């Protein structure tokens, strides 16, 4: 069966509406009757298809007694264009905590990450994360406990039913974030995670020189039912890329990284040599 197009924002919106209805203990039919809607109208909302006005959505959220913060989030998703991608400016200033990313990682059956300067997020230890925040421009505005909780939520995605491939540049392994002892613990953690048969770590060595990933780090998510998406982030924004032309370019980058990176055993050997 061919994969169908379903945007990230559409899936996030539909999931949010479904959760709102579920919290009431009522069925979709009961909700529709109270709003004097056809049941299909509620069904379309849950599937992320829209089909209502913003006022009608507000009525549904009010009926479900959705908290103000969650209601604002769903209204923002409702307004977002679903054609080319999903650009997010998180209110807390922490792109890594965007709820949509966590939701999409849980849906994906294969996650491929390319990281040029840092250990990939899902492989980072709490100490490594803390050291990164303490040296960042946002150190005074970030609640470290909240960030660590978000990281823990992301790492819950690791499961044998999914496949994970991490392409990492050697410079990310050698950057002494938090000092040599902390980095030693971090690299041991990467090796330990790499022992799981559903996780593969591939290193692009410094000696290779210019490589396919110079444009920046990104995350490619593949789904069983949906078209793939790519997630990128900057200092204070996050972007889900969904248009076919851009996805084709990222797919080409991954193909080249696959050729340019050391194989799994060679990568393990390089990490071990850095530890030594």
Question: What is the 8-class DSSP label of residue 263?
Answer: -
User: pTM of the prediction?
Assistant: 0.71
Q: What's the first-to-final CA gap in the chain, in angstroms?
A: 50
Which pLDDT band, with edges at 50, 70 and 90, does 107 fall under? confident
pLDDT, tens only, 203-245: 999 999 999 999 999 999 999 888 899 998 877 677 888 888 9
pLDDT, tens only, 9-64: 777 788 888 899 999 999 999 998 999 898 888 888 887 766 788 888 899 999 99
How far does Cα 23 stand from its chain's mean position?
25
Tell me: domain 86-275, CATH 3.30.870, correct? yes
Residue with tokens 């819950």: 156
Answer whether 141's CB lies under 8 Å from 155's CB. no
The residue-averaged pLDDT of 86-96 equals 53
| CATH topology assigned to domain 8-82 | 434 Repressor (Amino-terminal Domain) (1.10.260)
* pLDDT confidence of residue 50: 67
* pLDDT confidence of residue 1: 40
| In the chain, % of residues over pLDDT 90 | 49
If one compares 18 and 101, the residue with the highest pLDDT of the two is: 18
Where exactly are the structural domains of the chain?
8-82, 86-275
């Amino acid at each position: 069966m061919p994969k169908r197009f379903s945007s990230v924002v559409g899936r996030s919106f539909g999931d949010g509406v479904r959760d709102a209805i579920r919290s009431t203990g009522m069925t979709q039919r009961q909700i529709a009757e109270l709003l004097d809607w056809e049941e299909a109208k509620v069904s379309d909302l849950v599937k992320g298809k829209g089909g209502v006005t913003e006022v009608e959505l507000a009525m549904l959220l009010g009926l479900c007694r959705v908290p103000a913060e969650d209601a604002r989030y769903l209204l923002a998703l409702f307004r977002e264009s679903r054609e080319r991608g999903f650009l997010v400016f998180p209110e807390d200033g922490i792109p890594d905590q965007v709820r949509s990313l966590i939701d999409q990682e849980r849906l994906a059956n294969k996650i491929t990450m390319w990281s040029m300067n840092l250990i990939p997020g899902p492989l980072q230890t709490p100490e490594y994360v803390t050291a990164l925040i303490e040296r960042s421009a946002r150190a005074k505005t970030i609640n470290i406990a909240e960030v660590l909780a978000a990281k823990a939520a992301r790492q819950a995605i690791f499961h044998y039913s999914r496949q994970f491939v991490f392409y990492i540049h050697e410079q990310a392994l050698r950057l002494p974030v938090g000092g040599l002892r902390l980095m030693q613990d971090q690299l041991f953690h990467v090796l330990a995670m790499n022992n799981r048969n559903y996780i593969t770590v591939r290193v692009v060595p410094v000696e290779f020189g210019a490589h396919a990933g110079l444009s920046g780090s990104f995350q490619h998510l593949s789904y069983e039912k949906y078209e793939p998406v790519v997630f990128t982030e900057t200092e204070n924004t996050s972007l889900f890329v969904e248009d076919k032309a851009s996805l084709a370019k990222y797919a080409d980058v991954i193909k080249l990284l696959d050729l340019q990176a050391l194989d799994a055993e060679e990568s393990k050997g390089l990490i071990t040599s850095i530890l030594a």
